Amino acid sequence: MATTTSGASRHSLMDWSATQGGILTLNGTLESLYKPPLFPFDDTELPHYHKVRGSTRQAFAQWRAEGKSTPIVAGCWSRPLFVGGFKHSDASTERVFNLQTPSIFLDLRLPLDQDFTRHKGLSTMTSHELKLFARRHAFAGYSLVSGSSSSSNASDPPVATRHHAIDWNFVGKLRPRPNKWRIEMEG
């Protein structure tokens, strides 16, 4: 089996994307757990709802015009560890960067052991390299924050719901649950 200069096998490089999916979905069991009535949500909260309907620009423009943005989570950070479904990935296998403005987010996940710098474009990559390149994860869009932005209101914490406008790996299949995260405010 071919390996890279770092010693990673072709199989482990191709499996990086599957590992990410396993972590994110608790090895595929999350869909059966994250549903109403325990976790109620509206279809309009799904990450690709507007993308598949062609209404992304209109929705984002409306949210912006209505002032649906907040500076409480603006910043940039990296994620050194990703754990779930008895799997993990960390800074030794990938680089993950997040950028959050008062309204727009970017999430970029790049596996290590994949050096494409010698290429000037996709046409110079081998079939295997194209498959590896396609498995990178990058998505961006609009974050809507609901709930209280006050740290004193623990019963209604702020929650960010991400709506994807650009998604590197989106193949037309809707994610069956929202891309939400709770914001913990320090007093």
Q: Tokens 């209404």, residue?
A: 55
pLDDT digits (tens, 9 = 90+) for 56-79: 999 999 999 998 988 888 999 998
Q: How far is CA 19 from the centre of its chain?
A: 14
pLDDT digits (tens, 9 = 90+) for 139-171: 999 999 988 765 556 677 889 999 999 998 887
Return the DSSP state at 78.
Answer: E
Res 39: pLDDT? 81
Q: State the amino acid at position 40 in one-letter form.
A: P
Res 37: pLDDT? 74
Cβ neighbours of 162 (radius 10 Å): 20
